[in-house]
Structure 1
Amino acid sequence: MKMSSGKAKHLIVISYDAFSEDNWEKASTLPNLSRLIKNGVFSTKLKSVYPTLTYVVHTTMMTGVYPDKHGIIHNNPLQPFVGEEDQAWFWFRKDIRVPTVYEALKKHRMKSAAILWPVTGKASIRYNMPEIKAIGRENQALKILKNGNPFYCAGLERKYGKIRKGIEQPYLDDFTVMCGTDTILSKKPELLMIHFIDLDDAKHHYGTDSTEIDQVLLRMDGRIGKMMDAVAAAGISEETVFMVLGDHGQKNVRYKVRLNQLLKEDGLIYEENGSMHWRAYLQSTGGSAYLHVKENDDEAKQRALGILQKAAGEETLGIEKIYTGEELERFHAFPVSGCMLEAKLGYSFDDRIVGPLVTDLKKENKTYATHGYSPEKPEYNCCFVVSGNGIRKGYQLGEIHMVDIAPTIASILGVDFGPCDGKVLEDAFLNIRE
């Protein structure tokens, strides 16, 4: 691997979780993001990967390959019958099957930093505070220290830990931005990756079109401004490029559907000796679901497919499409058992085997939105901005792909990276004649 001529000495990648094209009209007029747009290139047609889940997408951002290659297929490894709050996640770098762009930088003795970036537990990142959560009787602080850079994490916790109130927003992102500005000023890493979650949380709780969303967009613009101010205070503005991007959109949900109950009725999910067992099981992503089948149990697979095909014919069960074989290959989705379900707009899937088969959230006066749908859902693209010296000014890119992010990061910093599924976004860069 060799160095090539880079565009900047420093790159700050801001993952603006759930920042999608429906937010662009408002967000793009706010002072700090609009400044980046004016001095850079942008797209509202950044196509995500299937399924559109945070950990799946962030792994693609760092590897430049689709989920069928990098192996992070969901936020969570399969854990049937375990409640959502108690599930482990794909927290660790070891679960990624391919090289990452921050490892390419390390080979050139370039410093990377990551703050609450997904799937970075025990990663070879110089300054690393991974996104990781205590479950059961684990201690949150110890878990972060054990899986990140302990001195770095302890220092930030000591300075800014009082700001945080668990994972409650806006306090979590307020803590994150303080860690980010401190890192810029004290470490000046060549690559900083920082993950903000406020918008994603608000959409899940209040829906995609609530007044709360406008408040989050204002807060997020303020956080972007703090990062820009830190770069100026560090004296590295001329050498720094900013990249701001969303990982997925969200869609409002009225009906939650628990299709595992149909598998249970057929005996494919069953109780034995006081515990639950399965031969076929649907692992929901929200907007889609993987069918898992026990190894070499072809009879269970055929029975499950028959049940799901029948269910797809029932309007109220919310199945838009059953994807198999070549269709999954087209999406570059991880094949699992070779079957995925896509939910209709207004519907989402739920793993649980208790409660009604279909819940009407409107009747319960609940608002909810989620993601995990196909990246081809309408008005579901992500937003992307890259800005700084060496970048074209006020230029709009067309459709781009999440696999293009890693090679573009490498190109900006002058590191060769590959092979991968994406390409460098050359249209973003100033040519000498421009």
Structure 2
Amino acid sequence: MNSKISRIKKTVHVVVISLDALSESEWPLISSMPHLSRIIKEGSWSRELRSVFPTHTYTAHTTMVTGVQPDKHGIIQNHPFQPFVPLHKQEWYWYQRQLKVPTIYDLTRKNGLKSAGLFWPVTGKSSINWNIPEILALEGENQVLKILKNSSIAFMLNLERRIGKKRVSTKQPDFDDFVTLAACETIKKKKPNLTLIHLCDLDNAKHTSRIESPAVEASLLRQDRRVGEIMEAVKAAGIEENTAFIILGDHGQFSIDTNVHLNNLLRDEGLIYEEKGEMKWRAILQTTGGNAFLQLREGDSEAEERALEVLNKAVKEKKYGIQTIYNRKDLDKFRAAPGIKYVVEAKAGFNIDETLSDETIEDYRKKGILYANHGYSPDKEGYKCLFFARGRGIKAGKNLGPIEMVDIAPTIAELLGLSFYDCDGASLISG
């Protein structure tokens, strides 16, 4: 770490607000918005928060609460590997049981402190005291029953009774308004020592437009308002003097000009094929959007050789938009998923699509498709996240410089006066 927040005294409450997809490209807009600009002026901040590999929401949010890289905590993408299953039918890493290490909310519970989670990823059936996890019903499932089964039932039902009628819809931006309302109610009624809040409006605005779209600025204004509402709830709860706020992004995004179905190349090589009406594979790419993990049948060295020959040939053709192919030595440096030998990294502006298609290369500009995505290496230029901290225990006017996602959990722990588990990060607070 290059810089540290100066410690003032033990903090009783920490409120963490994740603004999904908040990145360095938003800094000029953020600096002029009423609530976020106030946090910058009155607290510590960084425009150089490095995400994880790959830059997926669930991977990054798990690192935030565990303080370790994906190779240790086990959430290596948003989705477990599910070949040929359409994205809308895929399982996600929804449950705490899928983690391999303890979390900051495990630590708070162990020490007699209370935590709340409002749609925080990978918290289904977690140790959070008052919890509504981010979890979706798949085909044939009931959304309400699935959330109830994996949440703090009494807490959720009580919230639903008090504010359920104010939920306009489950689509953005309405849903983030409801999550914010739920967070404010929880803070005022429960006064948790740790509150984790995940807001997705900005991420959705980028995905459904482009990062330079007016929709992004409109979303940022809404997120600024929501942050202000949460800060007012803390004040109304009478805990403002003993509260620290941490507001951060989890990854950047790039506007997509070209969508590439690279699995078509492996299909054409016979490494993906149909047999007796069933799709099978010897080598297949599991995409994150900005890159793709090469999954290989165990022990099939011939498939590995042929897949690499196909992909290395594609690297030389600009139309496929491949920046590089990482080998295991590269992936060890990124602390990426163990067991994966190769990852294809796309250039900014290119998206790797997992599905097979009649069309290998799609020109989104010609088709009029407005889209942005993430999942690239965290070291892409112009791709760092934003971080702000303000309140009890936080020094004002401090530029922290480069920081890491693994530093968030130990920082929260020290603000709460706790000693965090052995991890890959370090607290941003000086002793």
- TM range, normalised to the smaller chain? over 0.9
Cα distance, 1:162 vs. partner? 3.6
Identical residues among aligned pairs (%): 49
Q: Tell me the residue number matched to 1:158.
A: 161
Q: Does 1:282 align with 2:285?
A: yes
Q: Tell me the residue number matched to 1:214.
A: 217
Q: Tell me the residue number matched to 2:73.
A: 70
In structure 2, how many angstroms separate the alpha carbons of the residues matched to 1:333 and 1:267?
28
1:325-336 equivalences under 5 Å are 325-336=328-339
Instruction: Return 148-157 or 12-21, whichever deviates more.
Output: 148-157
Cα distance, 1:314 vs. partner? 1.0
In structure 1, how many angstroms separate the alpha carbons of the residues matched to 2:310 and 2:69?
30
Partner AA of 1:13 in structure 2: V
Cα distance, 1:87 vs. partner? 0.8
In structure 2, how many angstroms separate the alpha carbons of the residues matched to 1:227 and 1:60?
24
Q: Deviations over 1:305-332 (max 9, x none)?
A: 1111111111101110100021111111
Cα distance, 1:266 vs. partner? 1.2
In structure 2, how many angstroms separate the alpha carbons of the residues matched to 1:332 and 1:104?
24
Q: Is the 8 A contact 2:168 2:175 kept in 1?
A: yes
In structure 2, how many angstroms separate the alpha carbons of the residues matched to 1:121 and 1:244?
23
Q: Tell me the residue number matched to 2:391.
A: 388
Q: Is the 8 A contact 2:21 2:250 kept in 1?
A: yes
In structure 2, how many angstroms separate the alpha carbons of the residues matched to 1:63 and 1:144?
23
Cα distance, 1:160 vs. partner? 2.9
1:363-378 equivalences under 5 Å are 363-378=366-381
In structure 2, how many angstroms separate the alpha carbons of the residues matched to 1:51 and 1:260?
19
Q: Tell me the residue number matched to 1:343.
A: 346
Partner AA of 1:409 in structure 2: I
Q: Tell me the residue number matched to 1:184.
A: 187
In structure 2, how many angstroms separate the alpha carbons of the residues matched to 1:293 and 1:204?
30
In structure 2, how many angstroms separate the alpha carbons of the residues matched to 1:160 and 1:298?
57
In structure 2, how many angstroms separate the alpha carbons of the residues matched to 1:407 and 1:50?
20
In structure 2, how many angstroms separate the alpha carbons of the residues matched to 1:94 and 1:259?
33
Q: Deviations over 1:390-418 (max 9, x none)?
A: 21111111100001111111111111112
In structure 2, how many angstroms separate the alpha carbons of the residues matched to 1:190 and 1:43?
24
In structure 2, how many angstroms separate the alpha carbons of the residues matched to 1:316 and 1:167?
38
Q: Does 1:140 align with 2:148?
A: no
Q: Does 1:425 align with 2:428?
A: yes
In structure 1, how many angstroms separate the alpha carbons of the residues matched to 2:73 and 2:337?
9
- Equivalenced residues, count: 425
1:289-300 equivalences under 5 Å are 289-300=292-303
- Any idea what SS the aligned residue of 1:363 has? helix
Cα distance, 1:167 vs. partner? 3.5
TM-score, with normalisation over the residues of structure 2?
0.96
- Any idea what SS the aligned residue of 2:100 has? coil
Partner AA of 2:171 in structure 1: E
Q: Is the 8 A contact 2:55 2:376 kept in 1?
A: yes
Q: Tell me the residue number matched to 2:117.
A: 114
Distance 1:303 1:296, change over 3 A: same
Q: Tell me the residue number matched to 1:323.
A: 326
- Any idea what SS the aligned residue of 1:128 has? strand
1:408 to 400, 407, 411: 411
In structure 2, how many angstroms separate the alpha carbons of the residues matched to 1:28 and 1:194?
22
- Any idea what SS the aligned residue of 1:168 has? coil
CA RMSD in angstroms comes to: 1.4
Q: Tell me the residue number matched to 1:9.
A: 12
Cα distance, 1:267 vs. partner? 1.3
Structure 1: where are the runs of 5+ without partners?
none
Cα distance, 1:66 vs. partner? 0.6
Q: Does 1:45 align with 2:59?
A: no
In structure 2, how many angstroms separate the alpha carbons of the residues matched to 1:108 and 1:61?
19
Partner AA of 1:191 in structure 2: L
Q: Does 1:224 align with 2:259?
A: no
Q: Tell me the residue number matched to 1:310.
A: 313
Q: Tell me the residue number matched to 2:4.
A: none
- Any idea what SS the aligned residue of 2:367 has? coil
Q: Tell me the residue number matched to 1:92.
A: 95
Q: Deviations over 1:251-270 (max 9, x none)?
A: 01100011111111111111
Instruction: Return 165-174 or 401-410, whichever deviates more.
Output: 165-174
In structure 1, how many angstroms separate the alpha carbons of the residues matched to 2:102 and 2:276?
44
Q: Tell me the residue number matched to 1:265.
A: 268
- Any idea what SS the aligned residue of 1:194 has? strand
Partner AA of 2:164 in structure 1: G
Partner AA of 1:351 in structure 2: E
2:198 to 178, 195, 211: 195
Distance 1:323 1:317, change over 3 A: same
- Any idea what SS the aligned residue of 2:366 has? coil
Distance 1:189 1:37, change over 3 A: same
TM-score, with normalisation over the residues of structure 1?
0.96
Instruction: Return 130-139 or 385-394, whichever deviates more.
Output: 385-394
In structure 2, how many angstroms separate the alpha carbons of the residues matched to 1:154 and 1:297?
51
Distance 1:355 1:153, change over 3 A: farther
Partner AA of 1:370 in structure 2: N
Structure 2: where are the runs of 5+ without partners?
1-6
Task: Detail structure 1 runs of 4+ shifted over 6 Å in the superposition.
Answer: none
Instruction: Return 208-217 or 155-164, whichever deviates more.
Output: 155-164
